[in-house]
Amino acid sequence: MIRKSPLALILLLLLQLAAAAEPVWQYPLAANLVEGKGGYLVLTNKSVLLDSDYEPHDLVNLTVRAVSRGFQLRSEAADALSAMFQAAEEEAGLKLYVKSAYRSYQTQNTMYQGRLEKIGKDDGVVAYPGSSDHQTGLGVDLLNYEWTRRDGMTPEFGKTAEAAWMEQNAARFGFILRYMPEKQEITGIIYEPWHFRYVGKPVAQYMMENRLSLEEFTQEVSEAIAAYEEQGGNFTALCRALNAPPEPVLLGEADEEGDSEVSIFNRNP
């Protein structure tokens, strides 16, 4: 048996104390990526409803191919969608079309009431107001030309080259397939090979690689946060530290650029 010197034992003890004081964030994605900053990870479904006045503040008009004018998404999602449309065409020769994008609570409510009157009951085709992913301004329905000519959308669309390409590639642009065929029990929504949801690149890549629904991901994250805080960690503080801008580089006194910051501040007094 190797005998440890008293100094080594003390060091070991100190290391253990330090480890006990500083809990480790265990989730595969960094804490600040899953904290939901900017609202990109907002979950909505039949049991988690958005308020009737939930309306994203940064909606912009889409500039990509669409079945009609006036579609909107949140700014970051709109940019990502443009990049995805361009890649689909350049890499695979596929032309995508927007069929639906942002829908306000009021629009969803009108659609829902209209469906109720037509069918006489909630048949699950139109999402209950407040439960639609489209209200987040991050959900978008994408089709190929042939399907824009059809009356409705069915899971059959999943057999098209466009659907296959989108499922394979959407995560590169920050989108997930929101309603996967094998997650219908969890999402409460049928397989919708046309519905993509922006969550940002790192999260989208993690979710698609692991075939996670947004419901499962949200659950995983809340468990990771709970585990971290059970060990004495402060999740908010951890995220704040990770989001903090890098330390400024201190310039030497002799450096003539040392006071350049002052002139920047003075530019717009």
Q: Least Å distance between CB 146 and Zn ion?
A: 18
Residue 178 interacts with Zn ion (CB under 5 A): yes or no: no
Q: Least Å distance between CB 55 and Zn ion?
A: 18
> For residue 175, which of 85, 253, 104 has the smallest C-alpha distance?
85
The Cα–Cα gap between 73 and 77 comes to: 6
Footprint (CB under 5 A) of Zn ion, residues 103-122: none
Footprint (CB under 5 A) of Zn ion, residues 130-159: 141
In the complex with Zn ion, the residue whose CB is nearer, 141 or 220, is 141
Return the structure tokens found at 78: 């709109």
In the complex with Zn ion, the residue whose CB is nearer, 35 or 141, is 141
In the complex with Zn ion, the residue whose CB is nearer, 37 or 46, is 46
Q: Least Å distance between CB 88 and Zn ion?
A: 18
Q: Least Å distance between CB 244 and Zn ion?
A: 37
In the complex with Zn ion, the residue whose CB is nearer, 127 or 171, is 127
In the complex with Zn ion, the residue whose CB is nearer, 74 or 195, is 195
Q: Least Å distance between CB 179 and Zn ion?
A: 8
The Cα–Cα gap between 2 and 215 comes to: 51
Footprint (CB under 5 A) of Zn ion, residues 43-72: none
How many angstroms from the chain centroid is the CA of residue 196?
A: 10
In the complex with Zn ion, the residue whose CB is nearer, 34 or 100, is 100
Residue nearest to Zn ion according to CB distances in the complex: 195
Q: Least Å distance between CB 169 and Zn ion?
A: 18
Chain position carrying tokens 């480790």: 24
In the complex with Zn ion, the residue whose CB is nearer, 177 or 225, is 177
The Cα–Cα gap between 228 and 248 comes to: 30
Q: Least Å distance between CB 213 and Zn ion?
A: 15
Q: How many residues bind Zn ion (CB under 5 A)?
A: 2
Q: Least Å distance between CB 143 and Zn ion?
A: 11
In the complex with Zn ion, the residue whose CB is nearer, 178 or 235, is 178
Footprint (CB under 5 A) of Zn ion, residues 186-215: 195
The Cα–Cα gap between 220 and 151 comes to: 38
Binding residues vs Zn ion (CB under 5 A): 141, 195
